[in-house]
Amino acid sequence: MIAISSIVNIALRSLIANTMRSFLAILGIIIGVAAVVTMVAIGTGASEKISEQISSIGSNMILILPGSTTQGGIRMGAGTQQTLTMADAEAIAKECSAVSAVAPVISGTAQVVFANQNWSTGVIGTTPDMTLVRDWNVTSGRFLTEQDVRSGTRVAVIGQTIVTQLFGDLDPVGKIIRITKIPFEVVGVLEEKGQSMMGQDQDDIIYVPITTAQRTLFGQVLPGRVKIIYVKANSLEEMSLATEQITALLRQRHKIGQKQEDDFTVRDLTQMLEAAKESTQTMSILLGAIASVSLVVGGIGIMNIMLVSVTERTREIGIRIAVGAKPKDIRMQFLIESVFLTTIGGIIGLVFGIIASLIVSSAMQWPVSISVLSTLIAFGFSAFVGIFFGFYPAYKASLLNPIDALRYE
């Protein structure tokens, strides 16, 4: 048996001697691997982006919206009737064992002024538990306190966008801003959250005590009424239980009969976002599967080129068999050539795939994530393609009769 090193040497010399043929053979593999890496990177990046957005909104979060009004037989939709109260929020916090934090909210838009700068932003009246519900930390200063809520003090906690638009490089803590011409002291600055799934800037926000918002900013809200109640469940596993407990409690408090519709809506926000994440992951797998088809096409291309190579090198094969080469030596040579072609094509494809992913990310502002696992899978699959599609030409070459091969013109 000829030494493996000699077979490898012969295979490499053959590939180098036929550079154009070798390049055409690996072209399909290059395109296939590059396509798989790029598609999976785009899909994985989108999935990770959604995961970040889920984290930024808050984990295990439930939204409770007020009911709808009916005018002239037309139902106006959720949130058009003020059916939720501060007392409802307090009852949920006390009586629902699957709930860890509750934050009632009233909100609106207002013009905010500091010195000669002004900005229109969302103003939310809430309670101290909002930081727990939204998993939102304060980078400087403090958040709202129970004393602020009880006293209805005119204090505000602002997002990073407000800091940028009104204060620039100044430290906003302790400064006085005017919200609808009413002075508020800035007592804290929130950490940056970024955009939500809907593209909304989560940092373009101001939090004030809910009692202050009710009495001073949004006087049109009925006393004690709130627009939304944010709820945080104890864990992801207790989300369903928390939803059931909240629904049962509010139906009891609002005196809703057994056959009557709820005058509120309970939404499991985390579940909705997780569904979006799963859809993105499925799309990522689908994109990778579609791209992998080009790897198969590339493998067929290699098989065709290798079959042509067998035909072209029939006399060479006959001479090698005549001087003592075994059929398994011939098979090994052609298999090694196939594996070399796919390995080189896989490496070049990986490089092109990474470059293409970075170009897509830069040009389209689309998040991409190049994982080691996806690159290894693409590379390993390309090597498998080389062995699989290279076996038949190698097997055919090993079956050649040396006398017939030597006579081949």
Residues 6+ apart with CB under 8 A from 356: 34, 37, 38
Chain centroid to CA 160: how far?
Answer: 23
pLDDT at residue number 183:
95
The answer to whether 98 and 241 are in contact (CB under 8 A) is yes
pLDDT at residue number 273:
62
Residues comprising the chain, all counted: 409
* CA-wise closest residue to 360 among 45, 31, 30, 48: 45
pLDDT at residue number 380:
77
- Measured between alpha carbons, how far is 101 from 93 in angstroms, rounded to an integer? 6
Which residue ranges in the chain fall short of pLDDT 70?
A: 1-8, 10-12, 14-15, 17, 50-59, 68-81, 196-199, 219-223, 270-277, 279-281, 284, 287-288, 291-292, 295, 310-314, 316-317, 386, 394, 397-398, 400-409
How many C-alpha atoms does 186 have within 13 Å on its Cβ side?
28
pLDDT at residue number 73:
45
The answer to whether 5 and 322 are in contact (CB under 8 A) is no
φ and ψ at 113, to 5 degrees? -130, 135
- Measured between alpha carbons, how far is 397 from 399 in angstroms, rounded to an integer? 5
pLDDT at residue number 70:
47
pLDDT at residue number 250:
92
φ and ψ at 120, to 5 degrees? -95, 125
pLDDT at residue number 4:
62
161-187 CB burial, b ≥16 within 10 A, e <16: bbbebbbeeeebbebebebeeeebebb
Cα→Cα distances 322→2, 27, 326, 331, Å: 13, 34, 9, 15
- Token digits for 260? 């009557």
> pLDDT for 188-204, tens place per residue?
999 988 776 666 788 99
pLDDT at residue number 406:
56
- Token digits for 3? 């030494």
- Measured between alpha carbons, how far is 172 from 153 in angstroms, rounded to an integer? 18
- Measured between alpha carbons, how far is 355 from 362 in angstroms, rounded to an integer? 11
